[in-house]
């Protein structure tokens, strides 16, 4: 009796895995059209930056969508850029880092206008409590 239950559980598990694989193949083309895109404005955020990017990556993986993050950095004097470069090489997300001397609202709007998909979520981390817009981050 125990071997039969094992075969039933194995068959059920294989069927569930096959359904997930086929669903992923069918929706693969649709996912590229729908990407989650965030524009982050930073300045000396080395203590929080890795957590912010990992939280965004986790959120995108749970939703099953690719993640694009554009970071506009305002003359960081700490290791913010080094942390972003390290995460950029890991390949979990499409990360674009742009260093500017001063980031103004016009710069954020210009980068948002360059995108052809729906409007990205713009988060200015220089403003207190603005990080609350990032999923799974509560300041």
- Residues 34-49 have pLDDT tens digits of 778 898 888 888 888 8
Q: Which two tokens stand for residue 115?
A: 């995108």
| pTM exceeding the 0.75 threshold for the entire prediction | no
Whether residues 106 and 40 fall in one domain:
yes
Kindly report, residue by residue over 68-124, the tens digit of the pLDDT.
Answer: 888 888 888 888 888 888 887 777 788 888 877 777 777 777 777 766 566 788 888
**139 lies in a domain?**
no
Whether residues 120 and 101 fall in one domain:
yes
Whether residues 57 and 92 fall in one domain:
yes
Closest CA to 45 of 90, 89, 75: 75
Domain assignment of residue 9, given as a range: 1-33
Vertex 49 angle, CA 47 and 53, to 5°:
145
pLDDT higher than 70, residue 32: no
Whether residues 101 and 122 fall in one domain:
yes
pLDDT in the model for residue 99: 79
Cross-strand partners of 100: 74
pLDDT higher than 70, residue 126: yes
Report the domain count for the chain. 2
**82 lies in a domain?**
yes
Whether residues 20 and 39 fall in one domain:
no
């Amino acid at each position: 009796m125990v071997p039969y239950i094992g075969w039933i559980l194995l068959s059920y598990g294989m069927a569930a895995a096959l359904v997930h694989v086929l669903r992923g193949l069918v929706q693969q083309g649709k996912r590229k059209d729908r990407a989650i895109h965030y524009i982050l404005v930073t300045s000396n955020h080395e203590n929080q930056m890795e957590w912010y990017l990992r939280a965004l990556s986790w959120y995108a993986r749970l939703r099953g969508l690719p993640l694009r993050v554009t970071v506009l950095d305002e003359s960081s004097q700490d290791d913010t850029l080094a942390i972003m470069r390290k995460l950029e090489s890991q390949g979990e997300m499409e990360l674009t880092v742009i260093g500017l001397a001063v980031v103004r609202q016009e710069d954020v709007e210009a980068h948002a206008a360059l995108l052809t998909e729906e409007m990205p979520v713009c988060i200015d981390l220089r403003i207190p409590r603005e990080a609350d817009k990032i999923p799974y981050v509560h300041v």
